[in-house]
Amino acid sequence: MTQQSASPGFASTSPQPDFRRFRRTRMTDALRSMVRETELSPRHFIYPLFVVHGTKVRREISSMPGVFQLSVDELVRECIDVHRMGIPAVILFGIPEHKDEVGSEAYDEHGIVQNAIRALKKEVPELVVITDVCMCEYTSHGHCGIVRGNEIVNDASIELLAREALTHAQAGADMVAPSDMFDGRIQAIRTILDANNFTNLPIMSYAAKYASGFYGPFREAAESTPKFGDRRSHQMDSANSDEALREVAEDIEEGADIVMVKPALSYLDVIRRVKDTFHMPTAAYNVSGEYSMIKAAGRNGWIDEPRVMMEVLLSIRRAGADIILTYFAKDAARLLRG
Ligand code: PBG
């Protein structure tokens, strides 16, 4: 080793270190943004909303601070805001006046969601109105379809789901999103839509939807907790991801235009596999429990809520989701627009 000369103005002649300096591109905001791989923008969001009968109803969900059950008049006001913030789409969940064994209001042309769609398409025509197609909010037993004995029946249920989707389309919905996880529902819905001249109406399929504990707060919001049993006979087992690929492949085959993985955070690996395998427009649902945990910890001062929110949303995008359904849509849009 020779002694280094320390003459000012001359570069050192010592050998380069044999490690890479990743920190060079992290030194300033400008540099960090130049090398940033993943982008988060309000255009990626779908905002879920809960609609109820009545007027001037704005009832906060106790387990979901900042999320409300809204009557149609309040929903319209909310959606004008949402649209103004650059969020392109909402997804509607309805809470009916009466529940019965066969979920009649789900496919009633004057049901709560059908009324909400008509009002929104009149008042905020550019907002993309997506509807959740399921029966669990509408049935007295809280299951996603028809129940016989202890069985949640598949084939009779998908006929009703197809009818429900058709009434949404007829009311003016821009997209339907079946969330039940019965077999064959995408084909049944595509068939009835096409037969009624809705060939251009896209279907976003809840394609890989897991039986999850993270839906707890949603069931308070949508009043859809099953009265007996659970959803494990149709929603997926958390342990499986090869099966998720088979579910997604089948839904694409049957006519799904956008495929969804749900929940998002415990299933980031599934989002990545789905995106890499099918190269389809891929959505992920950042579900109620994922929202409520961050809200609760934020309120306790245990985490920096806005920071964690952005980190979580970015992680879902990084995993491969093009679209994120999230209760954080407005909060995040506000932050993103400075
Ligand atoms: C079914 C449906 C559920 C969610 C969306 N659609 C609940 C379930 O399957 O029990 C959950 C969404 C969330 O937790 O945010 N209609």
Name the closest-CA residue to atom 6, ligand 1: 179
Name the closest-CA residue to atom 10, ligand 1: 215
Fill in the amino acid letter for 162: A
What pTM value is reported for the model? Answer: 0.94
CB half-sphere exposure, 134, CA atoms < 13 A: 26
CB half-sphere exposure, 305, CA atoms < 13 A: 17
Q: Distance, CA 179 to ligand 1 centroid (Å)?
A: 7
Q: What is the pLDDT of residue 2?
A: 44
User: Could you list the pLDDT tens digit for every one of the 338 residues in the chain?
Assistant: 444 545 556 666 677 778 999 999 999 999 999 999 999 999 999 999 999 999 999 999 999 999 999 999 999 999 999 999 999 999 999 999 999 999 999 999 999 999 999 999 999 999 999 999 999 999 999 999 999 998 999 999 999 999 999 999 999 999 999 999 999 999 999 999 999 999 999 999 999 999 999 999 999 888 899 988 999 999 999 999 999 999 999 999 999 999 999 999 999 999 999 999 999 999 999 999 999 999 999 999 999 999 999 999 999 999 999 999 999 999 999 999 98
What size, in residues, is the chain? 338
Report the C-alpha gap between 50 and 75 in whole angstroms: 8
Check pocket membership of 132 for ligand 1, CB cut-off 6 A.
Answer: yes
Q: Is 1 helix (H, G, I), strand (E, B) or coil?
A: coil
Cite the active site residues: 209, 262
User: What token pair was written down for 181?
Assistant: 């996880």
User: What token pair was written down for 236?
Assistant: 């997926």
Q: What is the pLDDT of residue 16?
A: 75
Query: Which DSSP category does 62 fall into?
Result: T
Question: What residues does each domain of the chain span?
Answer: 40-336
**Topology classification of domain 40-336:** TIM Barrel (3.20.20)
Report the C-alpha gap between 103 and 109 in whole angstroms: 13
Residue (of 223, 271, 280, 213) closest to 244 by Cα position: 271
Query: Which DSSP category does 145 fall into?
Result: S
Q: Distance, CA 125 to ligand 1 centroid (Å)?
A: 26
Helices 305-318, 288-299: inter-axial angle, 10-degree rounding: 150
Report the C-alpha gap between 290 and 309 in whole angstroms: 10
Inter-residue contact 321 to 275 (CB < 8 Å): yes
Fill in the amino acid letter for 330: K
User: What token pair was written down for 270?
Assistant: 């599934």
Residue (of 330, 324, 293) closest to 39 by Cα position: 324
Q: What is the pLDDT of residue 6?
A: 52
Cis bond upstream, residue 263 (ω within 30) = yes
Report the C-alpha gap between 252 and 203 in whole angstroms: 10
Give the contacts of 6 (CB within 8 A, at least 6 positions apart): none
Q: Which atom of ligand 1 is nearest to the CA of 134?
A: 16
Q: What is the pLDDT of residue 8?
A: 58
Q: Is 69 helix (H, G, I), strand (E, B) or coil?
A: strand
Q: What is the pLDDT of residue 12?
A: 65
